[in-house]
Chains A and B, each alone.
Chain A
Amino acid sequence: MLRFEHVGMKYKTLTGYTEALIDVNFDVHDGEFVTILGPSGCGKSTFLFIGTGLTKCTSGRAVLDGKEITKPIKEVGFVFQDHLLLEWRTVLDNIIIQGEFRNQDLKITREKAMELIKQVGLKGFEKKYPWELSGGMQQRVSICRALVHEPKLMMMDEPYGALDALTREQMRVDLEKMWLDKKNTILFVTHDIDEAILLADKIVVLTPRPGQVKEIIKIDLPRPRNMKVKESAAFLAYRKKVTEIFMEMGILHED
């Protein structure tokens, strides 16, 4: 279980300190899919960095399985907004780098990588270079890289932010399928309301900067959530609720 306890973040600027996060508390249970939803610049991504130990929070602490996180943790797979594939490596080698860095048996890593490539529908593209792929395919490879070492925890920082709406929708469905199969813990940052609802077991809604938890909403929709779910009354009710929260915060307004 990943737990954020009174997490606060201050940045030093020329004029003094800017508060990015104030007293944030929430839990991410094992096998849970949690989305963090908030307006741009509210410090959403900072959670992923704090939860991975890449950034230290200035107050409070992040705790993983009872141990405070003080340095980068290793049992994690991180997917960034930009795919961050190495242009000198083929699709397969880009995934295998995970095993190389972790000193794992490369033969096994290779097998797992091939399996993942097949699962995300990129069979036949192993030998291609990143620049030969479309944006969606690149991000799929990036997800494979974050999964190949079978991490318990996955951090996804607006991974579909740069993709078009159609690709996004498909990626969303595929991600859920993969998660139902692997049952790992996912912390997913997004600013897309529909995406947040459709993926999550639990949405953490953040306020604009300085980021605070506005509300935590449990999502109780049957899985797998196919394209039709979007027309269901339950989904629309959730969407209405989230939209109202955003209107209340003044991020969305009608005039």
Chain B
Amino acid sequence: MEKRFTKNKMLLKWLKILNILKESIPGICSVCGVIVIWEVSVRFFEIPSYILPSPSDSIKALIQYWDYIKINLFTTLYEIGVGFGATVVISIPIATMISYSRIFEKTLYPFMVFLQLIPKVAIGPLFVVWFGFGMMPKILMVFLLSFFPLLMDTVAGLKSLNGRLYYMARTMSESEWKFYWKIKLPNALPSIFSGLKTSISMATVGAVVAEFLGSDSGLGYLLLRANGDINTRLLFAILIVLCLMGMIFFGIVEIIEKKVIPWHVSQRVTEKSGK
């Protein structure tokens, strides 16, 4: 009996993986198709590589310049890591305060919206004046761009609670902390994760843009130099790295999401078989 049960579970797991593979076939096919068309047309029309390098050429460039790219990649990763880390650490407590206090909300919100409406790219040069060419202005840009999406979604999540749950909690305990920790925060998690996904994409944009505006290392800096040297092959190699980096970040958030909120509607793969 026990053995059959585990066997069934294994089978279910394999079926799940197979299902995921089956689901992703169309996506993989379309991406591969575009790459093939790109490769063939570059060769067929003999487009010079400084205008549009072929995919294979870009990958060759990636290998050729890897050491160079690697050093700059670390700079960018560091900026994103620190900036995004600050976003997570700061915006969730602020969102909590906003969700609890009307006065806090009313005094803070206009300020937040105002900051959000400023095109932050436009104040980038100012950061260079203030903080020079180092990491600081980049980290700040990453933080500013990624902060608001997470804040907004977290506030929305914390506020989307069925009011009767508060009454229910009150009949059990007076502890506000327990209510927050066991009911309010878990309830907001799906929303927080959707905020994290937007946020992490914005973080990458922030790092590259800040590096454009003035720096001596980082992928954004390298991108500008490659452009200046009309080294389009290097430029495409960097784009590949940026693309992969973004995908990995997004993937990490999604994996954590699957682990943390397996109960949420968006994660229910086997809803029908579960019943």
- CB B151 to nearest CB in A, in angstroms, measures 23
| Interface: A111 (CB within 8 A) | no
Contact A80 B178 (CB under 8 A): no
- Which listed residue, A76, A82, A88, A101, touches B173 by the CB 8 Å rule? A101
B170 CB–A CB distance under 8 Å = yes
Q: Is the CB of B274 within 8 A of A54?
A: no
Flag whether A129 is at the interface (Cβ < 8 A).
Answer: yes
Chain A interface residue count: which class? 20 to 34
| Binary contact track B251-266/A, C-beta < 8 Å → 1, others 0 | 0000000000101110
Q: Is the CB of A54 within 8 A of B165?
A: no
**CB-based contact A54/B263 at 8 Å:** no
Contact partner, A78, options B162, B168, B174, B175, Cβ 8 Å: B168
B150-168 vs A, Cβ < 8 Å mask (1 yes, 0 no): 0000000000001011011
A145 to B: closest C-beta gap in Å: 9
B170 touches A72 (CB 8 A): yes
Cα A36 to Cα B230 in complex, Å, equals 82
Instruction: Enumerate chain A residues within 8 angstroms of B189, measured Cβ to Cβ.
Output: 88
How many Å from the CB of B43 to the closest CB on chain A?
53
Contact (A72, B164) CB under 8 Å given A86-B183, A100-B178, A132-B274: no
Chain B interface SS verdict (over half): helix
Beta-carbon contacts under 8 Å, A99-147 to B: 100-103, 128-129, 131-132
What residue in chain A is nearest B166 (Cβ atoms)?
A54
Inter-chain contacts of A87 with B (CB < 8 A): 263-264
Cβ-closest chain A residue relative to B275: A132
Measured between beta carbons, the chain A residues less than 8 angstroms from B268 are: 131
Residues in A whose Cβ lies below 8 Å from that of B178: 100-101
| Cβ contacts B164-208/A at 8 Å (1 or 0 each) | 110111111111001000110011010000000000000000000
A132: chain B residues at CB < 8 Å are 274-275
Among residues of A, the one whose C-beta sits closest to the C-beta of B174 is: A72
Give A55's nearest chain B residue, CB to CB.
B167
Asked if A100 and B182 make an inter-chain contact with CB atoms under 8 angstroms apart, the answer reads yes
B261 surroundings in chain A (CB, below 8 A): 88
Query: Are A84 and B171 in contact (CB-based, < 8 A)?
Result: no
Could you list 21 A-B pairs, sorted by A, with CB under 8 Å? A52-B171, A54-B170, A54-B171, A72-B171, A74-B171, A74-B172, A74-B173, A77-B171, A80-B164, A80-B167, A80-B168, A84-B164, A86-B183, A86-B186, A88-B189, A100-B182, A101-B172, A101-B175, A101-B178, A128-B274, A132-B275
